[in-house]
Structure 1
Amino acid sequence: MTYVVTEDCIACKHMDCVEVCPVDCFYEGENMLVINSDECIDCGVCEPECPIDAIKSDSESGLESWVELNRKYARLWPNIVEKGLPPANAKAMEGVPNKFRDLFSERPGEGS
């Protein structure tokens, strides 16, 4: 078991999870984060830190595409080890439907 970041993170990217991760397994895209499943130690401390419930256990059903997305972009995006600032409109983006289809960016973030 490991954890994955899901669609709710897109355009919200609060990054509270980054601050508590003991193994620095988060990677930053332009408008979301992903978890490297090979580095995640399944401690679960990140899950309750996410204010929008975007982090889930990969054992939950229906998350297969998010497991693959996290795996793919953790290889492409820079590692992030310090909490940055969320987008200015993060609060307004919470709960917006179809964020993957409409807003997902493959571009890397700045990393840290």
Structure 2
Amino acid sequence: MAFVVTSPCDGCKYTDCVTVCPCECFREGETMLYIDPETCIDCGACEPECPVEAIFPEEDVPEKWQHYIELNAAMALEKPPIVVKKAPLSSEGG
């Protein structure tokens, strides 16, 4: 299992989570972050760091956001890693 970034991240892209990730599994998209399920060790360090509550364990992703499980896996193959905190896109969630 892995953690999954979901809809609330889209449009705000806070990066507080990436600084606590011990395995550098976050990937940076244009409007949100993604978690690489192949490198995520399911430690949970990132979940409480997300100010918009966008990160869930895969088994707890709300029904309406289930498609983000596959989206994270797909985008993790395409997007570059991010390991440093950056300014968010906005102060509001998506």
TM over 0.5: yes
Instruction: Say which one has the larger Rg.
Output: 1
Quote the residue 1:56 is aligned against: 56
What SS class does the counterpart of residue 19 from structure 2 fall into? helix
Quote the residue 1:67 is aligned against: 69
Quote the residue 1:16 is aligned against: 16
Please tell me the root mean square deviation across aligned C-alpha atoms, in Å: 1.2
Quote the residue 1:83 is aligned against: 85
The Cα offsets for residues 50-108 of structure 1, whole Å up to 9 and x where unpaired, read as 00000011002524311100000000011111111111xx12x32x5xxxxxxxxxxxx
Give unpaired runs (5+ residues) of structure 2: none
| Count of aligned positions | 92
Quote the residue 1:103 is aligned against: none
Separation in structure 2 between the aligned mates of residue 36 and residue 74 of structure 1, nearest angstrom: 5
Separation in structure 2 between the aligned mates of residue 57 and residue 42 of structure 1, nearest angstrom: 8
The answer to whether the aligner puts 1:7 opposite 2:14 as a matched pair is: no
Q: Percent identical across equivalent pairs?
A: 47
What SS class does the counterpart of residue 56 from structure 2 fall into? strand
Separation in structure 2 between the aligned mates of residue 14 and residue 55 of structure 1, nearest angstrom: 11
Give unpaired runs (5+ residues) of structure 1: 97-112
Instruction: State TM-score, norm by structure 2.
Output: 0.92
- The one-letter code matched in structure 1 to 2:59 is S
